[in-house]
Amino acid sequence: MRLPKKELLAGACLAAAAAVLAAGIVLGTRLTAAPSPAPTPALTAAPTPEPTPEPQPTVETLRFSACGDDLIHDGLYQQAARRAAEAGNPDGRQYDFAYAYEPMRDVLAGFDVNWLNQETLVNSAYEPSGYPQFSTPTDITDALYDAGWRVFSLSNNHSYDKYADGIESSLAHWATMPDDVVTMGFYNVDTLDDYAYQTVNGITIGYLSYTEYTNGIPVPAGAAHRVILLEERDLIARQMADMRPNCDVLVVSCHWGEEGSHAVTDFQRETAQFLVDNGADLIIGTHPHVTQTAEWLTAADGHTAFVTYSLGNFISAQASPDNMIGTMLDITFEKTTQPDGTVSLALREPRLWPVITQYEGGYSNIRVYPYADYTDELGAAHGNFALSRAYIEEVLTASVDLQFLALE
């Protein structure tokens, strides 16, 4: 039976709707499957916190050197005058001492602090002179500073060689040096509290300087400053008590002993123990112009200190082979600060390195060498005598404790 047209259209619409439903499309929107629920994250344990580091001590170190007698005889300042003149006296300088110290420059560069016993009075009040009453031109300090020294001990048996004017002129000159220069040894006659300190690498060093002799010359009339003799025990004890709380290391230089003798005197040993008992950490001995031994000492309170009884000459124009042989102290200061602020100080690895003064005939070309650079050829050309390495080592091994002697 043929259906009417209207019914045919209705059937077609129903069939189309069924097709649409079958295709999953309704009103232009694509039907998708319902999303799967998000997985529940697995439960994990909370991370263990890192433990708080334990506070650690702070360790600071300072490598320190000390050289013996810088003994400026006529030959040295005359040589310096000739060299300055040959160079045309640059910057108006009348004396050029650099040549004498140049071989030591690289050695000194390896230290944080370099100390020197300036044996002769540096001043401009008097003309240059040698033995027995020395006066050294002020140009020398330019050479010493340029080579690397910053600390100078001034108290010795020649401190009064040019009397009150020499002392004051010397102090006035040292006051013109750069701020990092430290001197000690001349003390105000009224207060006697001219204390010297230096801080390097976080370590503060206090310096004192005393002498056993002044060659029979009393405190010059009218002097505003003077040296302190090692026999003035009460004064020295007071000074050390004043300084000790203000420094980590207390260094005391002593000009003492018998000239030309490798033997340590009873006075040196007894005085060294007194100084250690009163707080010295390091004692630097000068004056004999030859080498003497070194040792550890224990103070009454139990702390240990190191003493070098004589470093010998650093440079000179003396006439004996043994006067040509000196030593340079090499020692490390180690400061440990605990987290609670407690501070301790240790002295490490003291060594004595030989240094040799060389000159040729007529006291010409005077200079000082580290022993490592000294040869038998140089020794054979030495003025007045031959100076072999074998002889040098014989002198050193007989006069210096082998545990401190560094020949290589």
At 53, the pLDDT band (50, 70, 90 cuts) reads confident
User: Do residues 367 and 76 make contact, with C-beta atoms less than 8 angstroms apart?
Assistant: no
User: Among residues of the chain, what percentage have pLDDT more than 70?
Assistant: 89
In this structure, is residue 212 part of a structural domain?
A: yes
- Is 0.85 surpassed by the pTM of this model? yes
Q: Which two tokens stand for residue 256?
A: 């003492």
Ordered alpha helix ranges (H), 233-314: 233-243, 266-277
Q: Which two tokens stand for residue 340?
A: 């609670």
Highest mean pLDDT: which range of 22-31, 38-47, 392-401: 392-401
User: Do residues 280 and 240 make contact, with C-beta atoms less than 8 angstroms apart?
Assistant: yes
Residue corresponding to tokens 């005077």: 366
Pairing of strands 325-337, 343-360: antiparallel
Residue that wins the pLDDT comparison between 44 and 86? 86
74-88: pLDDT as tens digits: 999 999 999 999 999
User: Among residues of the chain, what percentage have pLDDT more than 90?
Assistant: 86
Q: 116 φ, ψ to 5°?
A: -145, 140
298-356: pLDDT as tens digits: 999 999 999 999 999 999 999 999 999 999 999 999 999 999 999 999 999 999 999 99
Distance CA 233, CA 254 (A): 13
Residue type, 239: Q
156-192: b (≥16 Cβ within 10 Å) or e: bbbbbbbbbebbbbbbebbeebeeebbbbbbbeeeeb
In this structure, is residue 57 part of a structural domain?
A: no
Cα–Cα distances in angstroms (integers) from residue 277 to residues 233, 235, 283, in the given order: 12, 15, 12
Closest by CA to 153, choosing from 121, 127, 176, is 121
SS3 label, residue 233:
helix
DSSP string across 321-378: GGGGEEEEEEEEEEEEE-TTS-EEEEEEEEEEEEEEEEEEGGGEEEEEEEGGG--HHH
Q: How many residues does the chain have?
A: 408
Residue type, 295: E
In this structure, is residue 28 part of a structural domain?
A: no
Residue corresponding to tokens 């100084």: 275
Q: Which of 2-6, 98-102, 264-268 has the lowest mean pLDDT?
A: 2-6
68 CB-near residues (< 8 Å, 6+ apart): 117, 286, 310, 311, 312, 313, 314, 326, 327, 328
146-200: pLDDT as tens digits: 999 999 999 999 999 999 999 999 999 999 999 999 999 999 999 999 999 999 9
In this structure, is residue 44 part of a structural domain?
A: no
Q: Which of 16-20, 81-85, 213-217, 223-227 has the lowest mean pLDDT?
A: 16-20
pLDDT at 203 over 70: yes
Which CATH number fits the domain that encloses residue 365?
Answer: 3.60.21.10
In this structure, is residue 386 part of a structural domain?
A: yes
The tally of domains found in the chain comes to 1
pLDDT at 15 over 50: no
Pairing of strands 25-26, 151-153: unpaired
Residue corresponding to tokens 């004064």: 235
In this structure, is residue 1 part of a structural domain?
A: no
Q: Tell me the pLDDT of the chain averaged across its residues.
A: 91
Closest by CA to 128, choosing from 176, 78, 177, 186, is 78
In this structure, is residue 305 part of a structural domain?
A: yes
DSSP state of 225: E
In this structure, is residue 235 part of a structural domain?
A: yes
SS3 label, residue 200:
strand
364-395: pLDDT as tens digits: 999 999 999 999 999 999 999 999 999 999 99
What is the extent of the structural domain holding 249? Answer: 63-399
Can you list the positions of beta strands (E) in 201-244? 203-211, 225-226
Distance CA 253, CA 260 (A): 19
